[in-house]
Amino acid sequence: MTPNIIQDGIFYSNGEKIGNSCCIIFFNFTRDCDFVQAKVILKRLWKFYNSMKKGITPDLLEVHPKQLHAGNTNFLLGYGSSFFSINGINNKKPDGLEQSFFNNPDLSGGGPVVEGTNIFYSNNIKDNHVMKDQIILQCIAENDFYIYRVIVETWKELQLIKKENNDKELILISKYYLGHKPDDRRNWFGFLDGISNINKKQRKDVIFIKKSKRGETELGTYMVFSRIEFNLEKWGNLSKNEQEVLIGRDKITGCPIIGFDKVTKRILKDPRCPIPGTTSVLDHGNEVFREISPLVFANYLFPNGYEQLKDSHIITSRTNTYKIFRQSFEFFEPSEDKRTFQVGFNFISFQNNVQHFFEIFRHSLNQLSEFISIQNIGVFYVPPIIENENFPGEITLSR
């Protein structure tokens, strides 16, 4: 039997070409759709997306392959907790979907995302749809054109499904979000992003489930999607030094901040970084300074008055107990009146235990809680692809 195959879109090894644009689409089946019909639709959509990976759409079936443009497009399919409430499904939820980790927003908007933290929903968010959505589809492509095409072609396919079922809607798009990867790797706060992701040797052990369990399959994983909004106005009121203390890194080079003088407010940057002949922690030779841990400066002698910087969200997220693999895409959206805008990033993480994300979320983001808020957040199970499946999860969900 062919071993399970990891879905596309989890860029855990070096050498993989990652597209610069991303869309996340959420789907729900209606009450008129039972599990048998849902499987037929998922089979159809997955075949449709596999064609789009080759640049083929229903309108371009007869186009010569030389005229097709695929745009390095890939797709990943996951299932939310509410998927398992579809009429006719008799499989139990995977373990990681049994527990509700996050609160719902207040009816008037806002409210704490997790009890015991200072992390809140954005004031205008009254409903966290991601916690209730049944299907998540991640699409990453070379540029925005291919992403827009996926959204348009998906809408057209759903219209066909509706028409073929006597105008009865069986599946709906709940919402979609767009994101991009900055060429300079800097987030909207101006800092280099994704420096301290776990190294490639650890990634498979952190991401993928190792044994089949109840409702889970080996080489499956849990995906957490969170859409984090930045408060640029408050952030801009901080000095550069204050920003660097909160992030734990130099704003220009990305090198770690290792010390802080509470009296003078001065910060101490690791003098060894970047190494001679380089300008950034991203340059070759500076790898040891990317994964911040106490070992990086265990024997470092601090000048009088300085103490080791503690509780940086980067440092606390790099514990040995809790590790996740992340890949993020920034977003920019005009406000409703088109005179202002919203910025932030779509934070996507993969882990074989949702508790790992939960602990990092609770302990690491608290440092930035005054400058960020959560628009939506939720957990999804991402199965592998098994031989002869028509779509990821078909065998797992039917057993």
Q: Please check whether residue 2 lies inside any domain of the structure.
A: no
Do the domain assignments include residue 221?
yes
Residue range 361-365: mean pLDDT, rounded: 78
Please write down the HEC assignment for all residues of 248-308: CECCCCCCEEEEECCCCCCEEECCCCCCCCCCCCCCCCCHHHCCCCHHHHCCCCCCCCCEE
Confidence grade of residue 301 (pLDDT, cut at 50, 70, 90): low
Q: Is the pLDDT of residue 316 over 60?
A: no
Residue 11 lies in a domain: no
State yes or no: pLDDT of 295 exceeds 60: no
Question: What pTM does this model have?
Answer: 0.91
Whether residue 59 is found in the same domain as residue 157: yes
Q: Is the pLDDT of residue 297 over 60?
A: no
Q: Are residues 95 and 188 in the same domain?
A: yes
Is pLDDT of 392 > 60?
yes
Considering the domain architecture, whether residues 205 and 254 belong to the same structural domain is answered as no
Same domain, 122 and 207: yes
pLDDT band at 317 (very low <50, low <70, confident <90, very high): very low
**Confidence check: pLDDT of 318 > 50:** no
pLDDT tens, residue by residue, 239-267: 999 999 888 899 999 998 888 777 777 88
Instruction: Give the structural domain span for 257.
Output: 249-311
Q: Do 283 and 158 belong together in one domain?
A: no
Torsion angles phi and psi, residue 203, rounded to 5: -60, -45
Shared domain for 137 and 191, answered yes or no, is yes
- Residues 129, 376 contacting (CB under 8 angstroms): yes
pLDDT band at 299 (very low <50, low <70, confident <90, very high): low
Q: Tokens 């008037």 map to which residue?
A: 108
| Backbone φ, ψ for residue 378 (5° rounding) | -170, 170
- Tens digits of per-residue pLDDT, 102-117? 999 999 999 999 887 8
Domain boundary among 286, 311, 336: 311
Beta-carbon-side half-sphere exposure of residue 29 (alpha carbons within 13 Å): 24
Q: Is the pLDDT of residue 152 over 90?
A: yes
Between 256 and 235, residue with greater pLDDT: 235
* Measured distance CA(385)–CA(221) in Å, rounded: 12
Residues near 331 by beta carbon (within 8 Å), at least 6 away in sequence: 177, 178, 179, 180, 227, 342, 343, 344, 345, 346
DSSP class per residue in 372-386: EEEEEEEEEEE--B-
271 and 137 both lie in a single domain: no
The stretch 331-349 carries a mean pLDDT of: 91
**Total domain count for the chain?**
2
Angle at 347 between CA 343 and CA 352, to 5 degrees: 175
Over range 108-128, report the average pLDDT: 92
In a domain, 147, yes or no: yes
Cβ proximity of 282 and 237 under 8 Å: no
Lowest mean pLDDT among 82-86, 98-102, 395-399: 395-399
166 and 296 part of one domain: no
- Residue 9: inside a domain: no
Question: Do 213 and 296 sit in the same domain of this protein?
Answer: no
204-219: average pLDDT? 85
The mean of the pLDDT values for the chain is 88
Packing angle of the helix pair 144-164, 35-52 (nearest 10 deg): 140
Listed range (78-82, 294-298, 376-380) with the worst mean pLDDT? 294-298
Q: Are residues 96 and 132 in the same domain?
A: yes
Check whether residue 380 and residue 295 sit in a common domain: no
